[in-house]
Amino acid sequence: MALKFITADEAAALVQHNDNVGFSGFTPAGCPKVVPGAIARRAEAEHAAGRPFKIGMFTGASTGDRLDGALARAEAVKFRTPYQSNKDMRAGINAASNPYFDMHLSMVAQELRYGFLGKVNVAIVEAADVTEDGEIVPTCGVGILPTICRLADKIIVELNDKHPKEIRGMHDLAEPLDPPHRRDIAIYSPSDRVGDTCIKVDPAKIVGVVRTSEPNDEGGFAPLDEVTQAIGNNVAQFLVSEMEAGRLPKEFLPLQSGVGNVANAVLGALGDNEKIPAFNVYTEVIQDAVIALMKKGRVKFASGCSLSVSRPVIQDIYANLDFFKDKLLLRPQEYSNNPEIVRRLGIITINTALEADIFGNINSTHVNGTRMMNGIGGSGDFARNGYLSIFTTPSTAKDGKISAFVPMVSHLDHSEHSVKIIITEYGIADLRGKSPRQRAEEIIEKCVHPDYKPLLREYLELGVKGQTPQDLECCFAFHQEIAASGDMRNVDWKKYKKQ
Ligand code: 0RQ
């Protein structure tokens, strides 16, 4: 069946008001680049003509401004899930005009299959190759691509020639059977394959192919500062001491690390530390630092869901596919983030907290308990199931006016039961085997900024009895203070304590 090449605007005309649309990719890597913008223009034209036009959005994780940003600005969002990080999408979410539900990334595809989230009417997917008999080769980000292509009535392919057809072979694409027929996923080491190098769909469902040459959005990282460097060094030091204590096998264990500057600094520090042997990565987002370490022989193999790297790095990978092809594997997120595999491989997980409490609970998503930042992403998939679950955070935010450590988190993403180690630029709090009171002492001693240590010690001395000494009159005083005076350092417990 001959492929039908169409323009982005023609593709957008195939999407109807109220449709639920699934998008490929994970971070801007692998997301469609031109059709979402055309849908946004269509929405604006429909709105100008007095007609409604909104779509439901299923993505892998965050996307790019040309997808989330364009559709948010066009007020075309019926709902959105899961992780996002675009400022206009976030503004719409917090203004309640973009209804958003946050999900563990490993669960999106299966919940679509279970029918929990409604129908997928259209799949819009970026491909490095598509054939007349319905073979689709993703680009450098997979996300939920296999599932949306199978479930959707219509598939629109963005064929992007910035990604060579020779990338075929770098993917491991599969979908598990659903319960009660589900079997184990036979990944026993990060390089094991369980799927195919392309997906196969009914070619009649491919309603159009849009050619494009648009590169991924340019991400890039802030240069390392003293704080991120210190956090990275502390993580490396902690893992070395675990090896020396015999609590990590001498060949080390695969690593997952979140996205962002801290994650990049951590990887850099681990790579530079010669006491840590060359290691494997089993993660969701493969960032620049992994590729640099691979070239130095410090990372042996990386399995992930997306190559979320800067433009020079992706060009380097494509120019040297022979070197990278047997060292990189891109999988759907229900495999890259699968709890069964995380537990089996014994992954060391490193994620970033927005806020932690002194008892070891983590808020990764909500500023002051109300405003959505990005979403839980894959942090829960990994943290709950990891061999060692580490959370990192700078000890303060906003020039010291906000302490990352509070008496009680204003929103809970990862409970005390999933959190083993917390690391800041000041040190390492080891929470294993400690009661809530002991954890609080360890966190205050090792991780809290000196400006906040006296206040948090006073909190513990407010006299509350019980297993976890939370004072229900005072536990949100830090958050109330930020609203009242703009600086958590101004907390005076007497102001909050009634008697
Ligand atoms: O604000 O951007 O205005 O400067 O939050 O904070 O320190 O730059 O850290 O970029 O690594 O983001 C948790 C959001 C951290 C991220 C979070 C302000 C701070 C700054 C960003 P500015 P930093 P990062 C795999 C793993 C959840 C998902 C996850 C995240 C901005 O890591 O989304 O782990 N994680 N996924 O000033 C108010 C506080 C604050 C605060 C920091 N307590 N109150 N503002 N900030 N702490 C990823 C995927 O799944 C794809």
CATH number at residue 340: 3.40.1080.10
Pair of tokens at residue 87: 């400022």
Q: How far is the CA of 264 from the centre of ligand 1 (A)?
A: 14
Structural domain range at position 275: 226-491
* Final residue before a domain boundary, out of 167, 183, 212: 212
Pair of tokens at residue 322: 């022979």
Pair of tokens at residue 239: 């893992």
92 and 205 fall within a common domain: yes
268 and 237 fall within a common domain: yes
Roughly what angle, to the nearest 10 degrees, separates helices 288-295 and 261-272?
Answer: 20
Residue 220 lies in a domain: no
DSSP state of 462: S
Q: What dihedral angle (degrees, nearest 10) is formed by the CA atoms of 78, 81, 96, 89?
A: -90
The residue whose CA has the least distance to atom 21 of ligand 1 is 354
148 and 232 fall within a common domain: no
Residue 38 lies in a domain: yes
Q: How far is the CA of 202 from the centre of ligand 1 (A)?
A: 41
203 and 266 fall within a common domain: no
Tell me how crowded residue 370 is: count the other CB atoms within 10 A of its CB: 10
Active site residue 441: no
Q: Is 396 in the pocket of ligand 1 (CB under 6 A)?
A: no
Question: What does the alpha-carbon distance between residue 8 and residue 183 come to, in Å, rounded to a whole number?
Answer: 40
166 and 247 fall within a common domain: no
> Which 3 state secondary structure label does DSSP give 116?
coil
pLDDT for 396 equals: 98
First to last CA, the chain: 79
Residue 147 lies in a domain: yes
User: What pLDDT, in 10s, does the model give residues 196-223?
Assistant: 999 999 999 999 999 999 998 876 566 6
Q: Is 264 in the pocket of ligand 1 (CB under 6 A)?
A: no
240 and 169 fall within a common domain: no
Give the residues of the chain that fall short of pLDDT 70: 219-223, 499
174 and 297 fall within a common domain: no
Ligand 1 atom closest to the CA of 404, numbered from 1: 43
- Residues 416 and 359 sit within 8 Å (Cβ to Cβ): yes
115 and 161 fall within a common domain: yes
Of the residues 158, 175, 284, 481, which is catalytic?
284
Residue 218 lies in a domain: no
Total tally of structural domains belonging to the chain: 2
- Residues 12 and 35 sit within 8 Å (Cβ to Cβ): yes
Q: Is 349 in the pocket of ligand 1 (CB under 6 A)?
A: no
Residue 2 lies in a domain: no
pLDDT for 449 equals: 98
119 and 257 fall within a common domain: no
* Final residue before a domain boundary, out of 170, 188, 212: 212
* Final residue before a domain boundary, out of 212, 247, 270: 212
Question: What does the alpha-carbon distance between residue 213 and residue 202 come to, in Å, rounded to a whole number?
Answer: 26
Residue 378 lies in a domain: yes
Angle, alpha carbons 92-264-126 (nearest 5°):
55
346: left (phi over 0), alpha (psi -120 to 50) or beta: left
Residue 129 lies in a domain: yes
Entry pTM: 0.96
Q: How far is the CA of 354 from the centre of ligand 1 (A)?
A: 5
Q: Choose the residue to mutate in 63, 256, 259 for probing ligand 1, maximizing ligand atoms within 8 Å of C-beta.
A: 259
Q: How far is the CA of 398 from the centre of ligand 1 (A)?
A: 12
328 and 361 fall within a common domain: yes
Pair of tokens at residue 180: 């009660």
Angle, alpha carbons 302-257-373 (nearest 5°):
130
77 and 170 fall within a common domain: yes
315 and 421 fall within a common domain: yes
User: What pLDDT, in 10s, does the model give residues 290-320?
Assistant: 999 999 999 999 999 999 999 999 999 999 9
